[in-house]
């Protein structure tokens, strides 16, 4: 028989042996491929960022970061699949503006992003561009506001769809400027830009990557960018906040995991992602896609998620945007 003293000693030895194993598992992470869920089809700016960063993380951590595209239901299918996954660090979510907007736009979501997604790291912020058809006489945001007020019911605001950041950027503009327009939603940015070029609509607050080539070609005119500072891609275009103090609308991108994912895994991913974002080649590519890298701890990204969710909630409520059932 084992004495009580011997049993206690064996228990202590067992506990001391288990403790290092837990820390070692986080230290060794990842030991198998990591799925990174993107709520958009392949080929768009979101997908490009995920693949760019995923490739570098694969190289740095020695395991494949597999980009899995799950479009549908305005990103909600992708988001719910991550929230319901094992919280072990092997299923990640590409966090994007749809997540912040959908928290208010959808009436019957089965999840809460702020509560159910653990923030890991922000990537970058991409401003929208206030862009008009070249036949619109206004050359500045202030002139455009005056033009809209002088032509009630005659100016159309295009968007890539109801409830998108492109749409809500326009709603915020109307609310803060008093310039009322008719909203014309399209199924995506491409047909909206086609009608902007043709003059069927007069204004769009489009994402930087998709509108930039048209601005540079001179086929449309950029009046302002919607971030807090001028964009190096359009250095001569002022920020809209110069005309409408307090206006800010940008697309914040990052990565999250299911809640209860081990803190050590989150911290390791945060450290590795920040290292990738600091690489000159990655920084240059993100700038080409419209926004400088954001390097910081998980808590900083979490605070950004809360702020973005609150901001778009206010816009949706004030604009009385119809909720999706």
pLDDT in tens, 194-231: 999 999 999 999 999 999 999 999 999 999 999 999 99
pLDDT number for residue 26: 74
Angstrom CA distances, 73 to 40, 70, 145, 189, 324, stand at 10, 10, 34, 17, 10
Q: Using the structure block, give the residue that is written with the tokens 């492109």.
A: 166
Contact in structure between 168 and 316 (CB atoms under 8 Å): yes
If you write DSSP's letter for every residue of 65-128 in order, what string do you get?
Answer: EEEEE---GGGHHHHHHHHTS-SSSSEEEEE-HHHHHHHHHBTT-S--HHHHEEEEEEEEEEEE
β-strand partners of 224: 130
Can you tell me the distance from the alpha carbon of 262 to that of 63, in angstroms, rounded to the nearest whole number? 18
pLDDT higher than 50, residue 86: yes
Q: Give the pLDDT confidence score for residue 3 in this predicted structure.
A: 52
Output the pLDDT for position 27: 82
* CB proximity list for 173: less than 8 A, separation 6 or greater: 130, 179, 205, 240, 244, 247
Provide Rg for the chain, Cα atoms: 23
Residue with token string 């103090």: 245
- Is pLDDT above 60 for 13? no
- 71-84, pLDDT tens digit by residue? 999 999 999 999 99
What pLDDT score does 325 carry? 84
Q: Write down the pTM of the prediction.
A: 0.89
> Which pLDDT value is given to residue 43?
86
Could you tell me the sign of the dihedral formed by the alpha carbons of 147, 149, 150, 155, in that order? positive
């Amino acid at each position: 028989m084992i004495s009580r003293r011997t049993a206690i000693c064996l228990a202590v030895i067992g506990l001391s042996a288990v403790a290092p194993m837990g820390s070692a598992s986080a230290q060794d992470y990842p030991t198998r491929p990591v799925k990174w869920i993107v709520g958009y089809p392949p080929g768009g700016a979101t997908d490009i960022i995920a693949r760019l960063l995923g490739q570098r993380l694969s190289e740095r951590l020695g395991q494949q970061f597999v980009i899995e595209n799950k479009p549908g239901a305005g990103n909600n299918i992708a988001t719910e699949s991550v929230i319901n996954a094992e919280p072990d660090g092997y299923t990640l979510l590409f966090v994007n503006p749809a997540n912040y907007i959908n928290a208010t736009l959808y009436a019957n979501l089965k999840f809460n992003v702020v509560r159910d997604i653990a923030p890991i790291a922000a990537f970058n912020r991409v401003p929208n561009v206030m862009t008009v058809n070249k036949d619109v006489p206004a050359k500045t945001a202030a002139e455009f506001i005056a033009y809209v007020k002088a032509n009630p019911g005659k100016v159309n605001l295009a968007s890539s769809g109801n409830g998108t950041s492109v749409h809500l950027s326009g709603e915020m503009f109307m609310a803060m400027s008093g310039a009322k327009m008719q909203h014309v939603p399209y199924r995506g940015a491409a047909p909206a830009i086609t009608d902007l070029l043709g003059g069927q609509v007069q204004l769009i607050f489009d994402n930087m990557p998709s509108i930039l080539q048209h601005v540079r070609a001179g086929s449309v005119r950029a009046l302002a960018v919607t971030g807090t500072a001028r964009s190096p891609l359009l250095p001569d275009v002022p920020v809209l906040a110069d005309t409408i103090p307090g206006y800010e609308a940008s697309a914040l991108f990052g990565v999250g995991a299911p809640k209860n994912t081990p803190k050590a895994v989150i911290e390791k991913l945060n450290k590795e992602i920040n290292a990738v974002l600091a690489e000159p080649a990655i920084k240059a590519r993100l700038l080409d896609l419209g926004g400088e890298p954001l390097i910081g701890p998980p808590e900083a990204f979490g605070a950004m998620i809360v702020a973005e969710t609150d901001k778009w909630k206010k816009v949706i409520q004030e604009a009385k945007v119809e909720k999706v059932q």
